[in-house]
Amino acid sequence: MNKTNQSWGGRFNEPTDEFVKIFGASIFFDKVLAPYDIQCSIAHASMLQEVGLLSKAEKSKIIDGLNTILSEINADKFDWSIDLEDIHMNIEARLVDMIGEAGKKLHTGRSRNDQVATDIRLYLREQLDTINSEIKRLQMALLDLAMQEVDTILPGFTHLQVAQPISFAHHMMAYFEMLDRDSERLIDCRKRLNTMPLGSAALAGTTYPINRKRVAELLGFERICNNSLDGVSDRDFAIEFLASASLIMMHLSRFSEELILWSSAQFDFIELPDRFCTGSSIMPQKKNPDVPELVRGKTGRVYGHLTSILTIMKAQPLAYNKDNQEDKEPLFDSVNTLKACLRVFADMLPNIKIKRDNMHDSTKKGYATATDLADYLVKKGLAFRDAHEIVGLAVAYGLKKQKDLSELTLEELQNFDQRIEKDVFDVLSLKGSLYARNHLGGTSPNQVKQAINRAIKNLE
């Protein structure tokens, strides 16, 4: 090696400052891109040979060399160098080391700018597919739980005050729906992501007769970036992914919050499996819901990464700037965080103990069928506003007597309205209330079963 970096040192009079080397290097984190960088180089070399820029022998040497480098990396036998800054130059230098002259020709007609833009797309494309299958696994776990608990009654809340009885399965299916949209968003993001920047070179394209279509075909890209400046410089696909990832985390975080509340002694609706909880070093009685707490906590980290890449991009003039190197850590960390959170949720969910009796008793405490009584009166001819007023008075009476509406006698109820008859007690029961909401999207067990069946069909 000469006194400066071998791949660009020619015009420099002094070597890079020692700390600047460390400051500027991305090899600590962009190693993750190695398999994609190699995949990208193999496709590029194949195309170079096809258009006559490499001989067959040179191409074979390059491809064999790159495959050997990949095995070295996988076997943890690769000698990483900070002097070589990043993954691209580490691999290229090793290739030249290994195969000599032919290795020096690999970089013909490309730049690290279009190379890195291609590598991250390949990386993210693969990760998106893994994340989507993790979402599916979690959706399956939700479906299993929902199938078991169609008739389980849970207090439905608004303002965290008991509102109306709902089916526990209906509650689980709400999360299923959220995850369905999450997965659609990722699929949509994948469409735009699957566009190849390679061939943009540094920013303006290249003077060589490259065949971009061929490279795209080899790498499985559906389209080619139409504009070289745009191809090397935008990271909107990563931002789109992070926005979708943030929404997934937001959904998991809301779910976490409920699991935390439900497993507290105050709610006592569920018990989390011991192996997903920890104890306290000082309070022997404690069993802490660490997993959902961590998922809730990690949500902040993914939101932060979204803001981080948005900010990295906001003032960059076209085309590539070194700022873009800062896209990687937030992106990689978000991918890893998301995968881990989805995984731990899908593992934990089937092992949660559902305390059906406690949910039921708790639903009885909050006058959850008051709306049903109002609806009953409307069916007897009252205007809803008047019915609302009458039931309000009945609830106040019940509170004074410390009795649920269903525990009042027919005579007591008739004091509020003469039209009330014996059949009111069907309406005031939790089950009656639940079964009465029998339309598409409602919580009646009949509807929930249909929703589950539709979901199973769609997942297949």
16 lies in the site for ligand ARG, by CB under 6 A: no
**Of the ranges 109-117, 213-221, 266-274, 412-420, which one interacts with ligand ARG (CB under 6 A)?**
109-117
157 phi and psi angles, rounded to 5 deg = -115, 145
Distance (Å) of CA 219 to CA 201, 263, 328? 17, 48, 21
Q: How far is the CB of 25 from ligand ARG (least distance, A)?
A: 8
- Restricted to residues 141-200, the positions that interact with ligand ARG (CB under 6 A) are none
- Restricted to residues 225-264, the positions that interact with ligand ARG (CB under 6 A) are none
Kindly state the number of chain residues that form the binding site for ligand ARG, as judged by CB under 6 A: 10
Nearer of residues 164 and 325 to ligand ARG, judged by Cβ: 325
In the list 39, 90, 308, 325, the residue contacting ligand ARG (rule: CB under 6 A) is 325
Asked if 379 and 373 count as a contact pair (C-beta separation under 8 A), the reply is no
The total of other beta-carbon atoms located within 10 Å of residue 449's CB is 16
26 lies in the site for ligand ARG, by CB under 6 A: yes
Q: How far is the CB of 198 from ligand ARG (least distance, A)?
A: 13
Distance (Å) of CA 163 to CA 23, 86, 415? 56, 57, 24
11 lies in the site for ligand ARG, by CB under 6 A: no
In the list 5, 43, 59, 86, the residue contacting ligand ARG (rule: CB under 6 A) is 86
Q: How far apart are CA 366 and CA 390, in angstroms?
A: 17
State whether residue 203 is helix, strand or coil: coil
The yes-or-no answer on residue 159 being catalytic is yes
Q: How far apart are CA 91 and CA 249, in angstroms?
A: 35
Nearer of residues 49 and 113 to ligand ARG, judged by Cβ: 113
Catalytic residue among 55, 71, 264, 280: 280
363 lies in the site for ligand ARG, by CB under 6 A: no
Asked if 455 and 176 count as a contact pair (C-beta separation under 8 A), the reply is yes
Q: How far apart are CA 97 and CA 99, in angstroms?
A: 6
112 lies in the site for ligand ARG, by CB under 6 A: yes
Asked if 120 and 238 count as a contact pair (C-beta separation under 8 A), the reply is yes
Q: How far is the CB of 324 from ligand ARG (least distance, A)?
A: 5
The yes-or-no answer on residue 107 being catalytic is no
In the list 43, 62, 93, 116, the residue contacting ligand ARG (rule: CB under 6 A) is 116
Q: How far apart are CA 49 and CA 60, in angstroms?
A: 10
Sign of the alpha-carbon torsion through 184, 189, 192, 193 = negative
Q: If you ran DSSP here, which 8-state letter would residue 86 be given?
A: S
**Of the ranges 68-76, 178-186, 266-274, 320-328, which one interacts with ligand ARG (CB under 6 A)?**
320-328
Residues lying near ligand ARG in the complex (CB under 6 A): 26, 30, 86, 112-113, 116, 320, 322, 324-325
Give the residue numbers marked as catalytic: 159, 280
